[in-house]
A = this chain, B = another copy of it.
Amino acid sequence: MRAFGSDTRLPTVAMVLDLLRERTQVSRIELAQATGLTRATMTNAVRKLIDLGFVHEVGTARSQRGTPRRLLELQPDACHMVGLQFDRFRGVAVIVDLAGGIVARRELPVLGERGPDEVVPELAAAVCEMIGASALAREAIRGIGIATYGPQDRDAGVLLTPQPTPEWQGYPLASAVAEATGLPVAIENDATAAGIGAQHLGAAPSNFAVVYMSGGIGGGLIIDGHPYRGATSNGLELGHISVDPAGAACGCGNRGCLDNVASPVAVAHLASRTPLAARLGLGTDPLEAFGLVGRAAADGDAEAAELIDASVLNLTAAAVTLVNLLDVGSVVLAGSAFTEFGDRYRDAVQDALDRSVFMRHVHSVNVELAGDLAHAAAVGAAMVVLRNLLEEPGLGDRPAPKR
């Protein structure tokens, strides 16, 4: 097991990049003031970023003492990363630039019930296609980040679950995709990746909990801009906390798990056993069925509303547990399942937190939807590639890449 805090602080260069993304043009002294780092440390970090071609000087500004300050600016196109998010039901790919901007996006083939031998070549082909269709040279791509479900061995790049088929258990996803694409690959928990992505896609604060909903439900925690890792980077299995001690046994070993009563897969499964199945023409894709049930509920179908209300209610109960345990000031909702009915979940979670959180008299907790619900995890996975790059020990000692 890895230490918890091995990356609880961003390296200086990553902090500087984050500040440059926010502030357009800024001087070294302003950076030192904003980070609390010494001027020498900041000078060193900026030199590394200039050597990498990530940052350049764009002129001077008069300072209060009269000495002009040289202003720095990000070079968004100095570096690009690919981000993937995929699970049984949905998959998306993005190319992201240094500023966190999405410069290309596409859908990916989904896992379904297929094994890696079939899926991985498809993923690799889709990535190569996306890069080919972009105006970017292949050498401009620094690597691929993959956001997917857990449990996983993040350091080894290996999946640790027999879902959806036994071949995935122990499957070396990172090295297989690296071999198939010729690019370095990192894997990340999807909910955690969505948290990292949310920071680049909107006004996410630097400390918040993530509620992630695709087919199932996951959770994440961002502390000072960096993911909480826990013992094995598999923290915040929000979908498998019990919301009903008398509930059904779950394959995970627990009982009354949130995933089984609130996730799109659960809603679709419950709906399939009611007259809604025929009335709404529900098919086998659970996210599509979830969408149909959700729209029927919005249109006043009482049976559909009952299912959605139960999902919302259970999710809000889990969000209260999350906040009571973590004392966060913000909760960010992300994932493709929130795309259509995100506001309904957001409002209900906000209302529940306002009424039920232990700390509500001390501080309020703000609930927000991530900037790009369906792509947040993929963007976050791409930014993981950049963070890994910035954490390399000899960073900046090598020659600057060609611009």
Contacts of A327 in B (CB 8 A): 229-237
Interface residues of A (CB under 8 A from B): 1, 3-5, 8-9, 151, 153, 160, 206-207, 219, 223-224, 226, 229-238, 240-245, 252-255, 314, 317, 320-322, 324-329, 355-363
C-alpha spacing A9/B357, complex, angstroms: 28
Residues of B contacting A226 in the complex (Cβ-Cβ under 8 angstroms): 5
B3 to A254, Cβ gap below 8 A?
no
Note all chain B residues with C-beta closer than 8 A to A321.
Answer: 241-242, 321, 325
**For the complex, what is the distance from the CA of A238 to the CA of B322, rounded to whole Å?**
10
A314 CA to B359 CA in the complex, in Å? Answer: 22
Whether B219 contacts A325 by the Cβ 8 Å rule is yes
* Copies of this chain, whole number: 2
Query: Known: A237-B325, A245-B243. Contact between A362 and B232, CB under 8 A?
Result: yes
How many angstroms from the CA of A195 to the CA of B306 in the assembled complex? 43
Tell whether, in the assembled complex, residue B8 and residue A224 are in contact, meaning their CB atoms are under 8 Å apart. Answer: yes
A236 and B363 CA atoms in complex are apart in Å by: 15
CA distance A317 to B253 in the complex (A): 12
From residue A218, how far is it (CB to closest CB) to chain B in Å?
11
Compute how far the CA of A329 lies from the CA of B255 in the bound complex, rounded to whole angstroms: 21
Selected from B240, B244, B356, the residue in CB contact (under 8 A) with A253 is B356
Which listed residue (B241, B244, B325, B357) contacts A235, Cβ 8 A? B325
CB distance from A3 to the nearest CB of B (A): 6
Residues of B close to A236: CB separation below 8 A:
325-327
Residue pair B324, A160 in contact (C-beta under 8 Å):
no
